[in-house]
Chains A and B, each alone.
Chain A
Amino acid sequence: TVANSDSVTADGDALRVVLPEEPPTLEPCEASLTSTGVVVRSNITEPLTERHPGTGELEPKLATSWKRTSGTEWTYRIRKGVTFSDGSRFDAEDAAYSIDRAVNSELGCNVEGYVFGDTDLKVAAPDAHTLTVATPKADPILPLRLSFIEMVPTSTDAEKKVREPVGTGPYRIANWEPGLRLTLATNKRYWGRAPAYGSVDYQWRTEGSVRAAMIANDEVDVATSLSPEDGAGDAAEQYPNNETTALRMQVTEPPLDDRRVRQAINYAIDREGIVGSLFQGKAKAAAQLVPRGVVGYNESLQPWPTDLAKARRLLAEAEADGVDVDRSIRLISRTALFPKVDETVQVIQNQLNDLGLDIDIEMKDTAGSTEFQERPFPEDAGPYLMLIQHGNQAGDAAFSMDQYLLSKGYQSSGGTAAFDRKIGAAEAKTGAERQDALAEVFADEPDEIAQYAYVAHMYGVIALAPDVRYRPNSATGDEMRLAEFTPAD
């Protein structure tokens, strides 16, 4: 094997990672973009609190404690003795600035839309170690939302997004050769325990099989976002990854505006077949939008059974009532949305064609599919089914419901006022009540709305070199904490 001549790896103290794509930017307020977040979050910058991917509990990070101080206000105690990698001190001022910058500014940060919608926050730092955040309306999961905001120093540009941020994380950006590689070095001033690897070297390759080959050829230690076919062999590790695929139906357009048609579609899809053959069991047939581990996941829901006869009956009934079921329906998805998306789309098309619908596949690039995925939807698009993949990174179903189930949700094709109210009520609850209420929403959705045909809860594949220890978790795809990697002994 060719020795990798990279100087950083020479001391054996470096972790080499290959990603599917280069982060376009490392701007922390864009960290909800997968390719940015996977590098930035909790590595370069850190949030106030962090959700544990296993338990779902919030854990202290740059805040040591937090509590609800009024109906709409939360107060944080800010950790002492934290410095940014540039040497400046971190205090409540910085925290307030970071939140302001990400949520209340005109920067158009991704995290803003992803987590906060059009809500603006009132942020204040009464003293160096106290931070208060207030919402216009009561928000029981505000701390969860705030855990998406990465802390940056006040010296960070307020008008412009930055490419190379300064943070408090265990690593800092050492060298970024755009297009080639990104090297992180340890942040010597890090407040916590020093990570095991002295530096981290990121590269990126689009082809999964090349990433797998790099592991096989000992050119990297970690390869992410693989598919089982890529050939990583024993190095590959599968893990449930938080993502759920589903077919969203455009409930406003005939014939999809007829619930029986939507139910027929649900009955026609052979989820077990898809999961078993296509994903070789490395996925789970889905009955709801979020996987186990997310607050609001309903343990008792069963996926729709595959029942073609029933599906056809429903369709026939609809047709008898004058629904134009012969109208051709577009099946839209995005290329490379997840491994085997092409195959999945074909299987679905095939099964729906069997049902008697007329389905045309359209695979689009990101920009093209976004247009159909998010409001405002294009006019005159006709009826279409959108194969989406949703990953709830927050661990609370409210995030999913706001976007996907509310009748005016950004990614929802419609709903009812009654159902909206049900969601609203559930989201206002806390604790065990909250879990039950959200689970109830998922249980009712198929009967009341049936906007979605859920397909599967997905698995990710990561490959690790033999001398690297790491246990992937559901958040690995979005937030790969480098501090959790250790050399094998």
Chain B
Amino acid sequence: MFHFVRRRMLSSVLPLVAVLLGVFVLARLTGDPASLYLPESATPAQRAAFTERNGFDDSIWQQIADYFGGVFQLDFGESLRTGESAATMALRAFPATLQLAGATMLIAAAGAVVIGSWAAFRPNSLADRIASFLSMTAASVPDFWFAITGVWIFAVGLGALPTSGVSDGMLSWVLPVATLAIRPLGVLTQVVRGAMVSALSAPYVRLARSKGAGSVRVVSHHALRNAAAPALTVAGDLTVSLVNGAVVVETIFGWPGIGKLMIDSITGRDFAVLQAAVLLTAVTIFVLNIVIDVCYALLDARVRETATV
């Protein structure tokens, strides 16, 4: 297992470099930030000074070298917008996103496992159909619509929750997490249901029943672990998109996360911050993918032996 993780990590180094390089190049394709940050009146000399100060006048190779040199020291430069260190800004915003993503996936996964298994246990029953319908609907609700409606119903209408912000402890989490979780919950429920339906008709389930195992035991001990792999793949993809920025939710609820930071730095052509944020999320995503692969291996001994990196 250790071997596997190490090899997997090594094989992620090059892609990470590619991501960093890609961000560098792509960001620069969006135009010169000078016009955004310099006053309209800026003289050519001022423009030149700005360009020089930010190193935009060096040859592209020099810039790339400086950039990667900085990356190794976790120095991404300073934000054009705020003047702060880009790395600081990214590191400050990231925990909020991770917490949000973590809570969301926890709830979505738990809900999906319970609802999905329950629906799969009696395929085509009324309960199954209702659960399936609801999960499909959940998967297609526009999130900002859900969020704003939620704010007006639960915060303003019922007064049960704060509208937004992070200052009300657990209550502050309810609406953002609900908004974020609704689609993953819907999608995962469908995946779990599908996987459970097949797992429940597998020969080992019949063997378990022949030992006198009851329904709960059959589902929880036998089918679930076998059904976990496809659910894990999808859950991974969903988590990735959460880590990559829950822009809408962070924007609406004033949640100071990396998604909002990224979008602000994109619209603000704030390359340094963008690069720091992308590196942070990319590393997290790579780690996440490795964790998922390890989970596969933990779930199923056969994977341990055949896994290629």
Contact = CB atoms under 8 A, between A and B. Distances in A.
Interface of A: 1-2, 4-6, 24-25, 27, 106, 108-114, 116-118, 160-163, 178-181, 203-207, 209-210, 213-214, 216-217, 219, 231, 365-368, 370-371, 374-375, 403, 410-411
A367 B36 contact: yes
A108 B39 contact: yes
A111 B39 CA distance: 8
Given A179-B93, A365-B267, A207 B36 contact: no
B256 interface: yes
Nearest to A108: B38
A423 B160 CA distance: 59
Contacts of B251: 206-207
6 contacts: A2-B159, A2-B160, A4-B168, A163-B84, A179-B93, A210-B253
Contact of A367 (B30, B49, B260): B30
B96 to A, nearest CB: 8
A178 B83 contact: no
Contacts, number: 134
A213 B156 contact: yes
A214 B253 CA distance: 11
A111 B166 CA distance: 34
Interface in B116-174: 144, 148, 151-152, 155-156, 159-169, 171
A209 B253 CA distance: 11
Interface stretch (B40-48, B198-206, B278-286): B40-48
Contact of B31 (A1, A118, A160, A367): A367
A10 B204 CA distance: 62
B254 A113 contact: no
Interface in B230-275: 251-254, 256, 260-261, 267-269
The 3 A-B residue pairs with the shortest CB-CB distance, nearest first, are A113-B39, A179-B256, A113-B41
A27 B42 contact: no
Q: Report whether over half of chain B's contact residues are helix, strand or loop; otherwise say mixed.
A: loop
A contacts with B: majority SS? loop
B84 A118 contact: no
A403 B40 contact: yes
A137 to B, nearest CB: 16
Contacts of B260: 179
B31 A27 contact: no
Contact of B252 (A1, A113, A181, A206): A206
Nearest to B151: A213
A178 B92 contact: yes
Nearest to A368: B31
A365 B40 CA distance: 17
A214 B165 CA distance: 10
Contacts of B89: 178
Given A25-B82, A210-B252, A374 B40 contact: yes
Interface residues of B, number: 51
B52 to A, nearest CB: 11
Interface of B: 30-31, 33, 35-43, 46, 49-50, 81-84, 89, 92-93, 96, 144, 148, 151-152, 155-156, 159-169, 171, 251-254, 256, 260-261, 267-269
Contacts of A110: 39
Given A161-B83, A403-B40, A214 B163 contact: yes
Contact of A217 (B46, B96, B159): B159
Contacts of A207: 144, 148, 251-252
B256 A231 contact: no
A375 B44 CA distance: 12
B244 to A, nearest CB: 18
B43 A24 contact: no
Nearest to A18: B254
A377 to B, nearest CB: 11
Nearest to B37: A108
Contact of A213 (B50, B152, B166): B152
A410 B83 contact: no
Contacts of B161: 2
B43 to A, nearest CB: 6
B168 A116 contact: no
B82 A24 contact: yes
Nearest to B155: A217
B33 A5 contact: no
A267 to B, nearest CB: 31
Contacts of A4: 162, 167-168
Given A108-B50, A178-B92, A368-B31, A117 B41 contact: yes
A118 to B, nearest CB: 5
A211 B219 CA distance: 47
B162 A24 contact: no
Contact of B152 (A24, A27, A209): A209
Contacts of A6: 167
A4 B161 CA distance: 11
A6 B92 CA distance: 21
Given A114-B39, A214-B163, A367 B267 contact: yes
B165 A25 contact: no
Nearest to A179: B256
B40 A109 contact: no
B171 A217 contact: no
A201 to B, nearest CB: 10
Nearest to B266: A365
A375 B93 CA distance: 35
A112 to B, nearest CB: 5
Given A205-B252, A217-B156, A367-B31, A108 B42 contact: yes
